Amino acid sequence: MTKSAKIKKQPVSDLVELYVQAATVKPEFDLIMVEVVREFALRTKKDLTLSVCPTLKKTTRMAEKSQLKASKPGDVSGVKDIVRAMMTGRSMEEVNVVIDIVMKMHQEGKLEIVRIKDRFLEAPSGGGWRDIMVNICLTVSSVQHVAEIQIVHHSMLNARKGLDGHVVYGVVRNGLEMLAMRRGSIDVTALVDFENNLEQPRFAKWYSQAPAGEWEGVVSSNPQDHILEVDLAILDPKLEVRHRLPHLRKLAFPHTIPQLTATYIAQVTCFFYSLGVV
């Protein structure tokens, strides 16, 4: 059993120290993951697919994060997935069971949840990946460490297996992170929902040095490159894209569509409601 004081970042910022801490807590983490699988089987009479990475996270991605995402270059305290596991459900009902089990273990003091990120609906990744990401804090022999549990729907995983998509996603992700760092605005990276080809975008001036307001399909933006309005007649005439621009306040709809579906209206309404616009 393990109980920890809640921490949102790793307690150390040095790569070597962090690796030592990760190696210390990994055996306990692996045992907890097996316990989740066992509890899932008791509740559902089904098997839960568990993938526990046998090794610690590679240093290459940690170096990328410490340079592209950290407030101080070289600081790895924000890297929370050196110790990690993935649990795959065959339905959203099974995904919910896994979440419930992890929440119960939190209440019992077996682990401590420090963050839950809903990447199914609330904050999908720019590369298209969807999951529930749970960061937990474990304490072993006075060592505290934040680890990660990914809870995934099997359809999402199947789309990645056997394809080059995950490799492409890794390259695109790095490019978007560098773009966001250079521009100082995450809005320009959110536009990847409409166009993820960084080298040959379809739209004029995209991913260029020009202000975002001059990019084709962007109707208005502010000096910080926060995108306030886009023209869907240009960017998404068939209304097929789930856009997630954090500062968006207005949408220009194409006049050629036969009708707005209830699903699309609900999506847009929920999005603007989450921003406090409606």
Assess whether 153 and 237 both reside in one domain.
no
Contact criterion met (CB below 8 Å) for 211 and 225: yes
Residue 95 phi, psi (nearest 5) = -60, -45
pLDDT number for residue 36: 96
If you average pLDDT over residues 219-225, what whole number do you get?
A: 85
- In whole angstroms, give the CA distance from residue 167 to residue 38: 32
Q: Is the pLDDT of residue 270 over 60?
A: no
Same domain, 29 and 136: yes
| pLDDT per position as a tens digit, 174-199 | 555 555 555 556 677 778 778 877 67
Q: Which domain holds residue 137?
A: 15-160
* 117 shares a domain with 21: yes
Whether 137 and 251 map to the same domain: the answer is no
Question: Are 120 and 70 contained in the same domain?
Answer: yes
Contacts of 219 (CB under 8 A, 6+ apart): 228, 229, 230, 231, 250, 252
Residue 261 lies in a domain: yes
Say which range, 128-132, 195-199, 258-262, has the weakest mean pLDDT.
258-262
Do 96 and 215 fall into the same domain?
no
Q: What percent of the chain has pLDDT over 70?
A: 68
Backbone phi, psi, residue 205, to 5°: 70, 5
Which is more confident, 197 or 129?
A: 197
Residues 121 and 20 in one domain: yes
Mean pLDDT score, 122-138: 76
Indicate the average pLDDT of the chain.
Answer: 77
Q: Cα 264 from chain centroid?
A: 22
Q: Mark whether 32 and 134 lie in a shared domain.
A: yes
Q: Note whether residue 154 is domain-resident.
A: yes
Whole-number Å distance between alpha carbons of 89 and 165: 21
Residue 206 counted as domain residue: yes
With vertex at residue 174, the alpha carbon angle to CA 51 and CA 22, rounded to the nearest 5 degrees, is 40
Q: What is the CATH number of the domain that holds 119?
A: 3.30.460.10
Name, of 65-74, 161-170, 220-229, the range with top average pLDDT.
220-229
Spatial separation of the C-alpha atoms in residues 274 and 278, rounded to whole Å: 8
